[in-house]
Structure formats: C-alpha cells, structure tokens
Structure 1
Amino acid sequence: MKRLVVIIGIVLFVVFSYMALTNKFPSGYHADNPTAKEILKTNPRADILRLDGLVYSNASDREWIEAKEYTKGEMIGEVKKRTTKTWWYQNFYASQLPVGTKIYSGDEEGYQKGDAPGMVLVEYNNELLVYQALIEG
C-alpha cells in the first residue's frame, strides 16, 4: 500500500511538472493570456488561431483595422489543423481557417520563432485578414 502511494505521488508530480513547464494547465489555473479553451467556451464560433503560445482573433472587421493598409511580411507558417477541440490546442491550429492557410508577419514587424508579434496576417480567399494577439493587461 505504501509503495502504491509513493508511485501515485511520483506520477502526479511528473504530470503537474510537465503541465507547469509547458503552460498546459486547464483554464482557471492561471492568470495569463486567454486560452483557446476560454475563448471557444464563451463563443464556439470565434475565429481564432494559435501561434507561439498566443491566441489570435480575427480583427479584420474592426474600424481601426479597416482604416489602415496592410502588406504581408515574411511567411511564418501554415495552419496545420482546423479544430474547435481545445484540450491540446497547439501552435498553428485554427478554429475557422482551413489547413494550409498561410500566416504572415506584418510588413513592419519581423518574426522570430518564440517571439509572437502583436498581429499576423492571413491570406484567405484572395483577401488579407488581420489577426490580433489576445494579450492580458
């Protein structure tokens, strides 16, 4: 019995350590930026994508976005999966965009992996869409 308790304790320690290091705690266990789970729970039809651990929301229809002209910078990558299942919502997953949709940095902003820009551009149906990072604070 004592051995079982020790084994369970070790397993729980490893699981929680992994979750803490990869920021994969279920919503409600953190005070960071919004997660895909939180966003899709309140709005199942939200148009979001994830890049470098940040969730981006389609902001193309906002007035201040429409007032500016945007040009594509370097290609960051492509949508790998279209899903609204949020348990393991990974980078380059999107809720509305199809697989293969190209994601670009803005012309003014460069891109380095791990250093997510404030907004990204997506080319979809011959239209340039602006996705804004959802950042707390």
Structure 2
Amino acid sequence: MKYILILILVIISGCGEKLDREQSMSTADLLANETIQADPSADLFLYNDRVYIRKNKIDNIDQLGDLLGKIQDNYVKDAGFKDLMSTQLPVGTKIYQLKQEESIDQLIVKNSNKLIIYEALPEG
C-alpha cells in the first residue's frame, strides 16, 4: 500500500513541474509573438522584459544617454523571445537610454552610425 501511495505522489509531482515550464512565458514574450504574427516584418527587440518597436530616426547625437546593453541574439521563428533579442537589428547593436530621461519608455539604438528611437509597447 505504501508503494502505491509513493508512486501516486511521484506521478503527481512530475505533472506539476511540466505545467510550471509551460506557464513560464513572460508577458513580453507573448506580446512580441502577437506583434510578429500581426506583422512578420516588425522591427522590435526585448529589453528588461519589455517589447520595443521601431519609431523614428534622429540626427541629434546629444540625445544619447547611458549605454544599457547590446543586442545579443536574433529572433528565429517559433523559438521564443528573450531579453536583448531582436527581429532585425544585428547582434552587437548598442541600446542607449535617452539623455536626461529617467523613463525607459523610449530607447535609442545606434546601428551603422544611425540613431533610431524605439518605443515600448504597452502591456495588455
């Protein structure tokens, strides 16, 4: 009887672990996937669990603030998103905060000596 009880507990605990992995997709990952499904050519990246989408080019280098990071990986269809992953920016592209801005609702990307504003998509 003890062996049957132990066997049932092992089976139940194994099922619970599988559910946790399936539920581990972040809101940003879901939002990025929805955006790609709506527009497969969308130019976006993930930073700090937020999705940023391309808006405008700028010419004023004086707007560059602190370096926040670099693109580390490129998106591959059906592979899922992770922080510092981009759909179109090359690996190594630098991401900056806007100068004198505390918010990170907009970020600047420096790509091939071009400065481009990316704006965070609202969640929900």
Q: TM-score, normalised by structure 2?
A: 0.77
- The root-mean-square deviation of aligned C-alpha atoms, in Å, is 2.8
Q: 1:47 corresponds to which letter in structure 2?
A: D
How big is the shift at 1:58? 0.3
% identity of equivalent residues: 25
1:9 to 1:76, Cα distance in 2 relative to 1, 3 A: same
**In 1, are the aligned partners of 2:31 and 2:123 still within 8 Å (CA)?**
no
How big is the shift at 1:6? 4.6
Choose which of 13, 16, 19 in structure 2 pairs with 1:13: 16
More helix by share: 2
1:40 aligns with 2:36: yes
Structure 2 partner of 1:99:
91
Structure 2 partner of 1:122:
109
Aligned length: 118
How big is the shift at 1:88? 2.9
Unaligned runs of 5+ in 2: none
Consecutive aligned runs of 4 or more in structure 1 exceeding 6 Å deviation: none
Q: TM-score, normalised by structure 1?
A: 0.71
